[in-house]
Structure 1
Amino acid sequence: MAKATKKQALGRGLSALLKDPENDIQSVSDKNADKVIGNVVELDVESIEVNPFQPRSNFNDESLQELASSIRELGIIQPITVRKLDFNKFQLVSGERRFRASKIVGLETIPAYIRIANDQESLEMALVENIQRQDLDPIEIALSYQRLIDEVKVTQEKLSDRVGKKRSTITNYLRLLKLHPIIQTGMRDGFVSMGHGRALINIEKKKDQINIYEKIVSDGLSVRETERLVKSYKEAKIEKDPSKKAALTKEVPNFVTKGIDALKSHLSAKVDVTTSANGKGKIVIPFHSKEEFQRLRKLLTGD
């Protein structure tokens, strides 16, 4: 208990240092910056503004009230992270739920790690730190990935390194943004899972996506049942449209013919290709055992 009291006292002392105009720290090279940057400081709640880069947009009221009750009883266990904007003015980088709950309780101060970052760095820190959280829904994660790509200007490959996720995982999240907005909302509200969403992506027309989505919700379909339903739907569409059926069996384009031999040679396996009139196609690589599948997987993914 003595240690905790000493740490709190230190935090209050640093807070007083930040409120001294003679010690207005703007960069890591400023006097006393080493005493503040990276340390836990007790900050006035009113001196902190929310982060416009925050990827989370849904804050469950009941969950916030529960967190507020916990804070009322135990205090803030994990400090928030802020960046310094101006004299005695800060912006949240992470910890908005704790910040909101603290305001509900009526706390006047809150423990915070202080960092110095520009807008671009703050955006990246906020998005990357929040992506690591376990309670973001799939659409929030997808939107965060998209913002990093669009606003921080990183490729999917570099993004994979920064967030510690496989590139294929990032691609799967980003594809969810192609779903009808109603389905995205349903995923955020927990009516369907990411697995349901990934199955529905294979339906091109948004109207048809909605029809199947409504059946998933009304009948309580599992992901596997949804996948079967989507497959049946697509097969029925092909049967009803002779042009689509013929397109699947049309002659393979030259660019595919030229590349398929190299693919077969690399994989040392049979490779089947079907193409459609609009230039889209499908590559099928059959396997006959678990060992063969593992071999093909390593060749395709590199791990």
Structure 2
Amino acid sequence: MAKATKKQALGRGLSALLKDPENDIQSATDKNADKVVGNIVELELESIEVNPFQPRSYFNDEALNELATSIKELGVIQPITVRKLDFNKYQLVSGERRFRASKLINLPTIPAYIRIANDQESLEMALVENIQRQDLDPIEIALSYQRLIDEIELTQEKLSDRVGKKRSTIANYLRLLKLDPIIQTGMRDGFLSMGHGRTLVNIEKTKDQIALYEKIVSENLSVRETEKAVKEYHEAKKPKTTTKPSTETLKTPEYIAKGVTNLSNYLDVKVDIKSTTGNKGKITIPYTSKEDFKRIKKIILGE
């Protein structure tokens, strides 16, 4: 208990140091910077502004209220991280849920790690830290990856090293951004899993994406059932192949057709003929018994 009291007192002492205009720390090389940067400091909530680079755009009210109740009982266990903007003015880098929950119960101060970072560093810190969280939805993670690529100018390979994820994993998240916004919203609201989204992205047409999305939700399709539906969709879209007529099904010339009729009448049996190319073909004369065979033979040979 004494150790905790000493730590809390230290935080208040550093807070007083930061409020002294003569100790306005702006860089890591300033006097007393080593006492503040990287240490836990009790900061007034009114001196902290939210981070415009925060990748999370949705905060569940019920979850925030639960966190606020926990903070009211146990305090803020994990400090937030801020960067110094100006004299006694800070900006959140990470920990916005803790910050919001603390404001809900009107806490005057909050424990914070102080960083000195420029806008780009602040953006990268906020995005990377948020990506590591377990409670972000797939679209929030995908948007964070995209911002790191666009605004920090990282390649997927460098991003993979920076966040400790396989390049293929990053690519799979980024592909989700090709989904129609309606479907992205469905994923953020928990109607679809990432597996559903990865399957739906294989359908290019927006209207077809949405049609299958509505079927998934209404029929509660599993990822496997969705994969089957997408496969059937592509099978139905394949162009029907037209087979060339075989050599045995070419149109019989008129002179042959007439001759076959005469031959059939002459032999008193239905003669079949199949024409091939080059005026070639095959004549088939059926027989029904030994006696019938002899009869036909006799007619043909004139015996």
Give the match for residue 268 of structure 1: none
Between the aligned partners of 2:3 and 2:206, the Cα distance in structure 1 is 59
2:204 partner SS: coil
State the 1:237 CA deviation. 1.1
2:208 partner SS: helix
Between the aligned partners of 1:235 and 1:177, the Cα distance in structure 2 is 25
1:136 partner SS: coil
Give the match for residue 111 of structure 1: 111
Give the match for residue 230 of structure 1: 230
Give the match for residue 173 of structure 1: 173
Matches within 5 A, 1:111-190: 111-190=111-190
Matches within 5 A, 1:1-303: 1-238=1-238, 241-242=239-240
What are the Cα deviations for residues 70-95 of structure 1, in whole angstroms up to 9, with x where unaligned? 00000000000000000000000000
Between the aligned partners of 2:195 and 2:56, the Cα distance in structure 1 is 21
Between the aligned partners of 1:6 and 1:181, the Cα distance in structure 2 is 51
Identity of aligned residues (%): 84
1:187 partner SS: helix
1:114 partner SS: strand
Between the aligned partners of 1:122 and 1:50, the Cα distance in structure 2 is 12
Between the aligned partners of 1:49 and 1:43, the Cα distance in structure 2 is 12
Between the aligned partners of 1:180 and 1:35, the Cα distance in structure 2 is 50
Between the aligned partners of 1:38 and 1:4, the Cα distance in structure 2 is 18
What are the Cα deviations for residues 5-37 of structure 1, in whole angstroms up to 9, with x where unaligned? 110000000000000000000000000000000
Between the aligned partners of 1:188 and 1:119, the Cα distance in structure 2 is 27
What are the Cα deviations for residues 257-283 of structure 1, in whole angstroms up to 9, with x where unaligned? xxxxxxxxxxxxxxxxxxxxxxxxxxx
Between the aligned partners of 1:115 and 1:146, the Cα distance in structure 2 is 24
Between the aligned partners of 1:156 and 1:141, the Cα distance in structure 2 is 14
1:197 partner SS: helix
Between the aligned partners of 1:70 and 1:168, the Cα distance in structure 2 is 38
Between the aligned partners of 2:232 and 2:223, the Cα distance in structure 1 is 14
Query: Match of 2:78, as an amino acid?
Result: Q
Between the aligned partners of 1:85 and 1:61, the Cα distance in structure 2 is 29
Query: Match of 1:49, as an amino acid?
Result: E
Runs of 4+ in 1 over 6 A off after TM superposition: none
Query: Match of 1:17, as an amino acid?
Result: L
1:226 partner SS: helix
Give the match for residue 245 of structure 2: none
1:83 partner SS: strand
Matched residues, number: 242
1:43 partner SS: strand
State the 1:59 CA deviation. 0.1
Give the match for residue 279 of structure 2: none
Q: Report the TM-score, using the length of structure 2 for normalisation.
A: 0.79
Between the aligned partners of 1:14 and 1:40, the Cα distance in structure 2 is 8
State the 1:214 CA deviation. 0.3
Between the aligned partners of 1:152 and 1:185, the Cα distance in structure 2 is 26
Between the aligned partners of 2:116 and 2:208, the Cα distance in structure 1 is 49
Between the aligned partners of 1:178 and 1:123, the Cα distance in structure 2 is 24
What are the Cα deviations for residues 84-126 of structure 1, in whole angstroms up to 9, with x where unaligned? 0000000000000000000001000000000000000000000
